Chain A
């Protein structure tokens, strides 16, 4: 498949645009990525997401986002993006003594 991530509107005749689905679980936390659906419009994407991902009461709210609107890091980014975090222990606050009476 061509590496075409720049358009939301049917770049392939046989395939509808892809949408990413985010569900907010009933406990009221942040929306989490659940998967993706094909749809021609936002309303249709919302309905498909409802039917595919929230049939068993998994959600109180759904977001759908055109997959093409997401800019993602690539595997090649892994080194420069994430490795520097590993050797900077001062970014991890585990050296602090927690005062008594403070619950973590």
Chain B
């Protein structure tokens, strides 16, 4: 396996969590109630912490003098490798929760499989992330059901969020040469192998919530190759401005 492929693979893992973590942090101070505000901030910090470990490992694999901070704050949108679903604006609470649910189930499966990575560093990060992610699944699944069976308003919003997000789910499982190479060497996991288990876990929750999947449509993709929506650039300008205005600043 080339270290280039493993570096790319780690960027995907790290960027997914960095971008979603930042989107979730936008709820800080705006949560629907105090308790949920704290819960979302906790989950956001979990994700950013995972991203920090993954990007640090990526930088050491790349071995070109970068670190997790330069990867997070000094790359432009075209160099990011996150799935498109994760960069979409946070939307309403229903949208945020639905995205959290769809991704967390995927992430838990991914981290569970990555515990057995041939790379001990990645295996350790996965074991730590898995515990956190299992809680993220529990938290978001509970909310999906609550919103789905709640009021007419909450049901409508949850269904609308699912309709908007579904076409982005395919990208989570789309494998290319990078995935196949790291899977063959035992360092990574081919995401396409996770889809059956993902459906098996996602569908019963959506059923309990009384929500319908509009399946078999066109699936959006491009994030893994750096082709992003316009939203990522706006998000990065906010996320990166402090580090870029004051390079090397510490506090």
A binds B: yes
Which A residues have a C-beta under 8 Å from some C-beta of B? Answer: 16, 37-41, 43-44, 47-48, 50-52, 55
Task: Assess the B35–A39 pair: CB atoms within 8 A.
Answer: yes
Tell me the dominant secondary structure on chain B's binding face.
Answer: helix
Q: A38-B35, A39-B35 are in contact. Are A51 and B146 (CB under 8 A)?
A: no
Q: Is B39 an interface residue (CB 8 A)?
A: yes
A-B contact count (CB 8 A): 28
Q: Is B70 an interface residue (CB 8 A)?
A: no
Q: How large is the interface on B (under 10, 10 to 19, 20 to 34, 35 or more residues)?
A: 10 to 19
B33's partner among A16, A41, A47 (CB-CB below 8 A) is: A16
Q: Is B36 an interface residue (CB 8 A)?
A: yes
- Complex alpha-carbon distance, A52 and B33, angstroms: 12
- Complex alpha-carbon distance, A44 and B144, angstroms: 12
Q: A51-B39, A52-B38, A55-B42 are in contact. Are A44 and B33 (CB under 8 A)?
A: no
Task: Assess the B35–A51 pair: CB atoms within 8 A.
Answer: yes
**List of B residues within 8 angstroms of A44 by Cβ:** 142, 146
**List of A residues within 8 angstroms of B75 by Cβ:** none
B136-148 vs A, Cβ < 8 Å mask (1 yes, 0 no)? 0011001000100
